[in-house]
Amino acid sequence: MAKPPSVDHCMAALEHPYKAEVQAVREIILRIHDGITEQVKWNAPSFSYKGYLATFSLHRREYAMLIFHDGAILDDQDGLLEGDYPDRRMVYFHSLDDVAAKRPRVEAAIREWIAIKDR
């Protein structure tokens, strides 16, 4: 059985207009907690911590979309997380400035998700 591709390999081959934004968000997420792992899911970076945490969906070319699995469990007071699905919420990134502006809220959402999973 072939070894699955590494996320770095996947990123090197990625042709997407928001590749820089995806890389910036990867770096943000991976710095939050040593227990967060990364793998390739849906041909994009995906993050886990005691189960799937978040996965990029890069099918659309107008933005980079990060899907928070079980995102509905988060207390999203400021409207960072979009969607009204029973099992997920999304964050859309439209530029590196947008990544920088959303960084504190993304970090807070991930820390909250980890705290919930650690209970």
pLDDT tens digits, one per residue of 5-61? 699 999 999 999 999 999 999 999 999 999 999 999 988 999 999 999 999 999 999
The reply to whether 106 falls in a domain is: yes
Element containing residue 90 per DSSP (H, E): strand 88-93
What is the bridge-based pairing of β-strands 88-93 and 52-57?
A: unpaired
The reply to whether 1 falls in a domain is: no
Question: Number of structural domains, the chain?
Answer: 1
The reply to whether 70 falls in a domain is: yes
The reply to whether 2 falls in a domain is: no
Provide the residue range defining the domain that includes 52. Answer: 7-118
The reply to whether 112 falls in a domain is: yes
The reply to whether 79 falls in a domain is: yes
The reply to whether 94 falls in a domain is: yes
Render pLDDT for 52-105 as a digit per residue (tens, 0 to 9).
999 999 999 999 999 999 888 888 888 999 998 988 999 999 999 999 999 999
The reply to whether 18 falls in a domain is: yes
Q: Retrieve residue 34's tokens.
A: 């040593």
What is the C-alpha separation between 28 and 118, in angstroms, rounded?
Answer: 20
Q: How far is CA 106 from CA 1, 13, 31, 65, in A?
A: 36, 26, 12, 13
The interaxial angle of helices 96-118 and 19-32, nearest 10 deg, is: 30
Q: What CATH number did the domain enclosing 58 receive?
A: 3.90.1150.200
For 27-83, give the DSSP string. HHHHHH-TT-EEEEETTEEEEESSSEEEEEE-S-SSSEEEEEETGGGS--TTS-SB-
pTM of the model: 0.92
